[in-house]
Amino acid sequence: MSPGPDVDTTLEQVAAVAAEPSDKPKKLSMVVFSGDMDRLFGAFIIATGAAAMGMEVTMFFTFWGLVALRNGTSTGRTLFGKMLNAMTPKMIEKAHPSKFAFFGMGRWMFNKMMHACGVTPLKELRDLAIQLNVKMYGCGMSMDVMEIPQSAFVEGVQDPVGVGFFLSEAQESQITLFI
């Protein structure tokens, strides 16, 4: 039985649908909850790597993760906000490792060791990610709670979003991570 014109049309439609996903870039969505230096390294190495591989990358920074976006300015309206500001790092370079922190000694030591190996510093990885068009968002709720306004973030960070936005991004993603 020879395929009729309607079969040809159907085949063409199927081929069109099959070809569609490959034209669309693959997507990676990440929640960055941690502000630990070592975890942030993981997050930004994956993000820059994925962007280099042609993926669209969304990073959603919440709670301690917000340090990765901060530009060093002091924040806090209330007493608690000011306390939090005084006791936590104000920029990515000051993030402490999750283990071996020792009031900054750990960071100093790891930075020395990584520099000796030629690892790209954390701040440069973050800036590279922005340059590679990785979309970075602060979580509006944790920004409010921790009294960190958008003006305390480096340039290139998108306006604050909520969980709905993250979920809609995650839904379209082939890879989702919580760091």
Partner 1 sequence: MNDVNPDLDLDLRGLLCPMPMVKVSQNISNVPVGGVIRAVATDAGSMADIPAWAKSTGNEVLKAEKEGDEFVFLVKRVK
Residue ranges in contact with partner 1 by CB under 8 A: 26, 45, 48-49, 51-55, 117-120, 128, 132
Q: How far apart are the first and last CA of the chain?
A: 57
In this structure, the dihedral spanned by the alpha carbons of residues 88, 116, 41 and 64, taken in order and rounded to 10 degrees, is -10
- Closer to partner 1 by CB, 49 or 76: give it: 49
- Closer to partner 1 by CB, 133 or 168: give it: 133
CB 118 to partner 1: min, Å: 5
> Which residues on neighbouring strands pair with residue 60, listed in sequence order?
31, 137
- Closer to partner 1 by CB, 45 or 84: give it: 45
Secondary structure (3-state) at 3: coil
CB 170 to partner 1: min, Å: 20
Strands 56-61 and 27-32: parallel
- Closer to partner 1 by CB, 71 or 131: give it: 131
CB 141 to partner 1: min, Å: 31
CB 159 to partner 1: min, Å: 27
In this structure, the dihedral spanned by the alpha carbons of residues 108, 109, 111 and 116, taken in order and rounded to 10 degrees, is 140
